Structure 1
Amino acid sequence: MAQGRAARRRVSLARGLWTGAEVTVTLGVVVLLLVVHQLWWTNRQAREGAGRQVQALERDWGRGPQGQAPSLAPPPQEPDEAVQGETGGTGETPDRGEAERPGRATAPRWDQAYAILRIPRLGVVAPVAQGIGKRGVLDKGYIGHYPQTAQPGQAGNFAVAGHRNTHGEPFRYINRLRSGDEVRVETREAVYLYVVDKGLAQTAPRDTGVIANVPRSTVKPSAGYSEPGYYLTLTTCTPEYSSTYRLVVWGKLKSMRPR
Structure 2
Amino acid sequence: MRVLVVQHSSRRRRVLLRRGVWAGGEVLVTVGVVLLLLVVHQLWWTNRQAKVGAERKVEALEREWGVPEGGGAPDDSGTSGASSAAPEETDVPPRQPAARRATSAGPDWSQAYAILTIPRLHLRVPVAEGTSKQNVLNKGYVGHYSGTQQPGRAGNFALAGHRNTHGEPFRYVNRLDRGDEVQVETEDAVYTYAVDRILAQTSARDTGVIRAVPSSTVRHGYGYSEPGYYLTLTTCTPEYTSKYRLVVWGKLLSMRPRH
Please say whether Structure 1 and Structure 2 have the same fold, judged by a TM-score greater than 0.5.
yes
The runs of at least 4 consecutive aligned structure 1 residues that moved more than 3 Å come to 64-79, 102-107
Confirm or deny that 1:103 pairs with 2:94: yes
CA distance in 1 between partners of 2:133 and 2:215 (Å): 25
User: What is the one-letter code of the residue matched to 1:199?
Assistant: I
* Matched residue, 2:34: 30
- 1:128 is matched by which residue type in structure 2? V
Counterpart in the other structure of 2:112:
113
- The residue identity in structure 2 corresponding to 1:61 is W
Q: CA deviation at 1:66?
A: 11
Q: Name the CA shift for 1:133/1:213 in 2 (closer, same or farther; >3 Å).
A: same
SS of the residue 1:195 aligns to? strand
Task: State whether residues 72 and 255 of structure 1, in contact with CA within 8 Å, keep that contact through their aligned partners in structure 2.
Answer: no
Partners of 1:64 and 1:72 in 2: CA distance: 19
Deviations 1:182-225 (A, max 9, x none): 11111001001111010111111111100000000011120001
Partner of 1:155: 154
CA contact (8 A) 1:102 1:258 kept: no
> Mind listing any 5+ residue stretches in structure 1 that lack a counterpart?
80-97
Given that 2:54 and 2:126 are in contact with CA atoms closer than 8 Å, whether structure 1 keeps it comes out as: yes
Cα distance in 2 between the residues matched to 1:163 and 1:14: 48
- Pairs within 5 Å for 1:1-259: 2-63=6-67, 101-103=92-94, 105=96, 108-109=99-100, 110-259=109-258
DSSP 3-state at the match of 2:201:
strand
Q: CA deviation at 1:114?
A: 0.4
Q: Is the 8 A contact 1:235 1:248 kept in 2?
A: yes
Q: Aligned equivalents of 2:228 and 2:95: distance in 1?
A: 15
Cα distance change, pair 209–36 in 1 and its aligned pair in 2 (3 A):
same
Matched residue, 2:104: none
Q: 1:71 to 1:33 in 2, by over 3 A?
A: closer
Native 8 Å contact 1:72 1:256 kept in 2: no
Contact 1:70 1:257 in 2 (8 A): no
Q: What is the rounded CA distance, in whole Å, between the counterparts of 1:58 and 1:205 in structure 2?
A: 34
TM norm structure 2: 0.86
Looking at structure 1, the residues matched to 244 and 47 of structure 2 have their Cα atoms a distance apart, in angstroms, of: 22
For the aligned residue pairs, the C-alpha RMSD in angstroms reads 2.4
Task: Decide whether aligned partners of structure 1 residues 155 and 107 sit closer, same or farther in structure 2, where only a CA change above 3 A counts.
Answer: farther
User: CA contact under 8 A between 1:102 and 1:189: conserved in structure 2?
Assistant: no
The answer as to whether partners of 1:107 and 1:151 remain within 8 angstroms in 2 is no
Say which SS state the counterpart of residue 108 (structure 1) adopts.
helix
Shift of 1:10: 1.2
Where 1:240 maps in the other structure, the secondary structure is: coil
Ranges in structure 2 where 5+ consecutive residues have no aligned partner: 101-108
Count of residue pairs the alignment pairs up: 239
Change in CA separation of 1:43 and 1:65 when aligned onto 2, cut-off 3 Å = closer
TM-score (norm 1): 0.86
**Structure 1 position 73, deviation (Å):** 8.5
Q: Percent identity?
A: 66
Task: Kindly indicate whether the alpha-carbon contact (under 8 Å) linking 2:98 and 2:113 is maintained by their aligned counterparts in 1.
Answer: no
**1 CA distance for matches of 2:237 and 2:75?**
39
The structure number with the bigger radius of gyration is: 2
SS in 1 for 2:114: strand
User: Is the 8 Å Cα contact of residues 76 and 254 (structure 2) preserved in structure 1?
Assistant: no
